[in-house]
Amino acid sequence: MRSATILIATANQGKLGEVMAILAGLPVHLTTLEDYPDLPVPVEDAETFEGNAKRKALHYAALTGCWTLADDSGLEVDALGGEPGVHSARYAGPGCDAAANNAKLIRELSDISPGQRMARFRCVIALAGPEEVLATASGALHGVIVDQARGTGGFGYDPHFLVPEYGMTTAEMLPEQKNRISHRGRALQAVRPAIERLLAGSSVAGLND
Ligand code: IMP
Protein backbone atom coordinates (compact mmCIF):
# COMPACT_ATOMS: atom_id res chain seq x y z
CA MET A 1 0.00 0.00 0.00
CA ARG A 2 1.33 3.47 -0.92
CA SER A 3 1.30 6.31 1.57
CA ALA A 4 -0.06 9.76 0.82
CA THR A 5 -0.70 13.18 2.25
CA ILE A 6 -4.36 14.10 2.54
CA LEU A 7 -5.44 17.68 3.17
CA ILE A 8 -8.56 17.87 5.31
CA ALA A 9 -10.30 21.00 4.04
CA THR A 10 -11.50 22.28 7.38
CA ALA A 11 -10.30 24.58 10.12
CA ASN A 12 -12.91 23.11 12.50
CA GLN A 13 -11.14 21.12 15.26
CA GLY A 14 -14.24 19.02 15.99
CA LYS A 15 -14.52 17.83 12.38
CA LEU A 16 -10.79 17.20 12.26
CA GLY A 17 -10.97 14.95 15.32
CA GLU A 18 -13.75 12.91 13.67
CA VAL A 19 -11.77 12.52 10.43
CA MET A 20 -8.63 11.47 12.29
CA ALA A 21 -10.51 8.87 14.32
CA ILE A 22 -12.14 7.32 11.24
CA LEU A 23 -9.00 7.32 9.08
CA ALA A 24 -6.83 5.97 11.91
CA GLY A 25 -4.58 3.10 10.85
CA LEU A 26 -4.30 4.15 7.20
CA PRO A 27 -0.81 5.04 5.94
CA VAL A 28 -1.72 8.68 5.43
CA HIS A 29 -0.27 11.93 6.66
CA LEU A 30 -3.07 14.40 7.41
CA THR A 31 -2.67 18.15 6.94
CA THR A 32 -5.27 20.85 7.49
CA LEU A 33 -6.06 24.33 6.24
CA GLU A 34 -4.18 25.67 9.27
CA ASP A 35 -1.04 24.49 7.44
CA TYR A 36 -2.06 26.66 4.43
CA PRO A 37 -3.29 29.90 6.02
CA ASP A 38 -3.03 32.05 2.89
CA LEU A 39 -5.16 30.07 0.47
CA PRO A 40 -8.22 31.80 -1.04
CA VAL A 41 -11.56 30.26 -0.02
CA PRO A 42 -13.73 28.63 -2.69
CA VAL A 43 -17.16 29.93 -3.65
CA GLU A 44 -19.73 27.46 -2.28
CA ASP A 45 -22.78 28.34 -4.35
CA ALA A 46 -23.69 24.98 -5.88
CA GLU A 47 -27.29 23.83 -5.56
CA THR A 48 -26.37 20.48 -3.96
CA PHE A 49 -24.18 19.29 -1.09
CA GLU A 50 -22.34 17.08 -3.59
CA GLY A 51 -21.65 20.03 -5.89
CA ASN A 52 -20.21 22.11 -3.05
CA ALA A 53 -18.13 19.27 -1.60
CA LYS A 54 -16.61 18.49 -5.02
CA ARG A 55 -15.94 22.16 -5.74
CA LYS A 56 -14.23 22.65 -2.37
CA ALA A 57 -12.12 19.48 -2.69
CA LEU A 58 -10.97 20.31 -6.25
CA HIS A 59 -10.23 23.92 -5.31
CA TYR A 60 -7.83 23.00 -2.50
CA ALA A 61 -6.33 19.99 -4.30
CA ALA A 62 -5.46 22.18 -7.32
CA LEU A 63 -3.87 24.84 -5.10
CA THR A 64 -1.84 22.46 -2.92
CA GLY A 65 -1.20 19.42 -5.14
CA CYS A 66 -2.47 17.20 -2.27
CA TRP A 67 -5.35 14.75 -2.27
CA THR A 68 -8.05 16.72 -0.50
CA LEU A 69 -11.07 15.62 1.52
CA ALA A 70 -13.87 18.20 1.74
CA ASP A 71 -17.42 18.02 3.03
CA ASP A 72 -20.65 19.92 2.78
CA SER A 73 -23.58 19.31 5.07
CA GLY A 74 -26.87 20.69 6.27
CA LEU A 75 -30.42 20.06 7.39
CA GLU A 76 -33.23 18.98 5.04
CA VAL A 77 -36.81 19.30 6.28
CA ASP A 78 -39.48 17.42 4.29
CA ALA A 79 -42.31 19.88 5.05
CA LEU A 80 -40.10 22.73 3.77
CA GLY A 81 -39.31 21.00 0.45
CA GLY A 82 -35.81 20.08 1.64
CA GLU A 83 -34.91 23.55 2.94
CA PRO A 84 -32.72 24.89 4.49
CA GLY A 85 -30.49 22.35 2.64
CA VAL A 86 -27.40 23.97 1.14
CA HIS A 87 -28.53 27.25 2.74
CA SER A 88 -28.36 25.80 6.28
CA ALA A 89 -25.48 27.95 7.54
CA ARG A 90 -27.13 31.21 6.45
CA TYR A 91 -30.83 30.29 6.55
CA ALA A 92 -31.86 33.46 8.42
CA GLY A 93 -29.67 35.71 6.25
CA PRO A 94 -26.01 36.64 5.69
CA GLY A 95 -23.95 36.72 8.89
CA CYS A 96 -26.74 35.19 11.00
CA ASP A 97 -26.03 32.87 13.93
CA ALA A 98 -27.43 29.48 14.91
CA ALA A 99 -30.03 31.06 17.21
CA ALA A 100 -31.46 33.10 14.32
CA ASN A 101 -31.46 30.06 12.02
CA ASN A 102 -33.27 27.97 14.62
CA ALA A 103 -35.81 30.73 15.29
CA LYS A 104 -36.58 30.92 11.56
CA LEU A 105 -36.85 27.12 11.30
CA ILE A 106 -39.38 26.93 14.14
CA ARG A 107 -41.33 29.88 12.69
CA GLU A 108 -41.51 28.25 9.24
CA LEU A 109 -42.80 25.02 10.82
CA SER A 110 -45.41 26.68 13.07
CA ASP A 111 -48.33 25.32 10.98
CA ILE A 112 -46.85 21.85 10.60
CA SER A 113 -48.10 19.17 13.01
CA PRO A 114 -45.63 17.16 15.15
CA GLY A 115 -46.22 14.06 12.99
CA GLN A 116 -45.10 15.89 9.84
CA ARG A 117 -41.78 17.25 11.08
CA MET A 118 -39.50 14.66 9.43
CA ALA A 119 -35.98 15.90 8.68
CA ARG A 120 -32.46 14.68 8.11
CA PHE A 121 -28.93 15.94 8.46
CA ARG A 122 -27.07 15.11 5.28
CA CYS A 123 -23.35 15.20 4.54
CA VAL A 124 -21.47 14.61 1.31
CA ILE A 125 -17.72 14.11 1.32
CA ALA A 126 -15.57 14.42 -1.78
CA LEU A 127 -11.98 13.31 -2.25
CA ALA A 128 -10.14 15.04 -5.09
CA GLY A 129 -6.70 15.12 -6.65
CA PRO A 130 -5.45 18.28 -8.38
CA GLU A 131 -7.26 17.44 -11.62
CA GLU A 132 -10.25 15.31 -10.77
CA VAL A 133 -12.68 14.15 -8.13
CA LEU A 134 -11.61 10.65 -7.06
CA ALA A 135 -14.51 9.59 -4.86
CA THR A 136 -17.66 10.84 -3.18
CA ALA A 137 -19.67 9.41 -0.28
CA SER A 138 -22.75 10.53 1.57
CA GLY A 139 -24.35 9.91 4.94
CA ALA A 140 -27.64 10.87 6.56
CA LEU A 141 -29.10 10.98 10.06
CA HIS A 142 -32.91 10.93 10.25
CA GLY A 143 -34.92 12.75 12.91
CA VAL A 144 -37.78 15.15 13.58
CA ILE A 145 -37.80 18.85 14.39
CA VAL A 146 -39.07 19.81 17.86
CA ASP A 147 -40.18 23.32 18.89
CA GLN A 148 -38.56 23.21 22.31
CA ALA A 149 -34.74 23.40 22.29
CA ARG A 150 -33.16 20.54 24.28
CA GLY A 151 -29.52 20.02 25.24
CA THR A 152 -26.36 22.10 25.24
CA GLY A 153 -23.97 19.99 23.12
CA GLY A 154 -23.28 20.09 19.39
CA PHE A 155 -23.91 23.16 17.27
CA GLY A 156 -26.26 24.57 14.64
CA TYR A 157 -29.68 22.89 14.56
CA ASP A 158 -28.80 20.18 17.12
CA PRO A 159 -31.06 21.44 19.98
CA HIS A 160 -34.15 21.08 17.74
CA PHE A 161 -33.19 17.78 16.02
CA LEU A 162 -34.71 14.82 17.87
CA VAL A 163 -33.57 11.30 16.98
CA PRO A 164 -36.62 9.18 17.91
CA GLU A 165 -34.73 5.87 18.41
CA TYR A 166 -32.60 7.54 21.09
CA GLY A 167 -35.29 9.82 22.55
CA MET A 168 -32.72 12.61 22.51
CA THR A 169 -31.83 15.62 20.43
CA THR A 170 -28.34 15.58 18.95
CA ALA A 171 -27.53 18.41 21.39
CA GLU A 172 -28.29 16.02 24.29
CA MET A 173 -25.88 13.34 23.03
CA LEU A 174 -22.27 12.97 24.09
CA PRO A 175 -19.92 13.87 21.22
CA GLU A 176 -18.83 10.20 20.78
CA GLN A 177 -22.45 9.12 20.62
CA LYS A 178 -23.36 11.73 18.01
CA ASN A 179 -20.22 11.00 15.96
CA ARG A 180 -21.07 7.29 15.86
CA ILE A 181 -24.42 7.86 14.18
CA SER A 182 -23.98 11.25 12.51
CA HIS A 183 -24.33 12.05 8.84
CA ARG A 184 -20.67 13.13 8.79
CA GLY A 185 -19.48 10.00 10.61
CA ARG A 186 -21.41 7.80 8.17
CA ALA A 187 -20.08 9.63 5.11
CA LEU A 188 -16.53 9.36 6.48
CA GLN A 189 -16.97 5.63 7.15
CA ALA A 190 -18.23 5.26 3.57
CA VAL A 191 -15.28 7.09 2.00
CA ARG A 192 -12.59 5.15 3.90
CA PRO A 193 -12.70 2.08 1.57
CA ALA A 194 -12.24 4.38 -1.43
CA ILE A 195 -9.12 5.82 0.17
CA GLU A 196 -7.86 2.29 0.90
CA ARG A 197 -8.38 1.35 -2.76
CA LEU A 198 -6.58 4.48 -3.92
CA LEU A 199 -3.65 3.72 -1.66
CA ALA A 200 -3.58 0.19 -3.06
CA GLY A 201 -3.45 1.69 -6.56
CA SER A 202 -6.81 0.56 -7.91
CA SER A 203 -9.62 2.74 -9.22
CA VAL A 204 -12.34 4.31 -7.12
CA ALA A 205 -16.06 4.73 -7.65
CA GLY A 206 -18.67 6.95 -5.99
CA LEU A 207 -20.12 5.63 -2.74
CA ASN A 208 -23.54 6.74 -1.61
CA ASP A 209 -26.00 5.77 1.06
P1 IMP B 1 -21.02 22.93 7.11
O2 IMP B 1 -21.10 21.84 6.12
O3 IMP B 1 -20.15 22.60 8.28
O4 IMP B 1 -20.72 24.24 6.49
O5 IMP B 1 -22.47 23.04 7.76
C6 IMP B 1 -23.49 23.82 7.20
C7 IMP B 1 -24.56 24.10 8.23
O8 IMP B 1 -25.40 22.96 8.36
C9 IMP B 1 -24.05 24.40 9.63
O10 IMP B 1 -23.75 25.75 9.77
C11 IMP B 1 -25.26 24.00 10.46
O12 IMP B 1 -26.21 25.04 10.47
C13 IMP B 1 -25.83 22.82 9.69
N14 IMP B 1 -25.28 21.55 10.20
C15 IMP B 1 -24.46 20.68 9.56
N16 IMP B 1 -24.18 19.61 10.33
C17 IMP B 1 -24.83 19.82 11.49
C18 IMP B 1 -24.89 19.08 12.71
O19 IMP B 1 -24.27 18.02 12.90
N20 IMP B 1 -25.66 19.62 13.69
C21 IMP B 1 -26.33 20.79 13.55
N22 IMP B 1 -26.29 21.53 12.45
C23 IMP B 1 -25.54 21.04 11.42
State the pTM of this model. Answer: 0.91
97 is catalytic: no
Q: Whose CA is nearest to atom 14 of ligand 1?
A: 74
CA distance 84 to 87: 5
Dist CA 79 CA 58 (whole Å):
33
pLDDT tens sequence across 27-74 = 999 999 999 999 999 998 899 999 999 999 999 999 999 999 999 999
Atom of ligand 1 nearest to the CA of 98: 12
Please report, for the chain, the start and end positions of each structural domain, with discontinuous segments joined by +.
4-206
- Give the pLDDT score at 206: 44
Can you give the pLDDT at residue 179?
86
Q: What percent of the chain has pLDDT over 70?
A: 95
What is the CATH topology of the domain spanning 4-206? Maf protein (3.90.950)
Q: Which residue has the higher pLDDT, 193 or 16?
A: 193
What is the biggest distance separating any 2 CA atoms in the chain, rounded to whole angstroms?
56
CB of 76 sitting under 6 A from ligand 1: no
130-174 residue pLDDT tens: 999 999 999 999 999 999 999 999 899 999 999 999 999 999 999
Does any ligand 1 atom lie closer than 6 A to the CB of residue 172? no
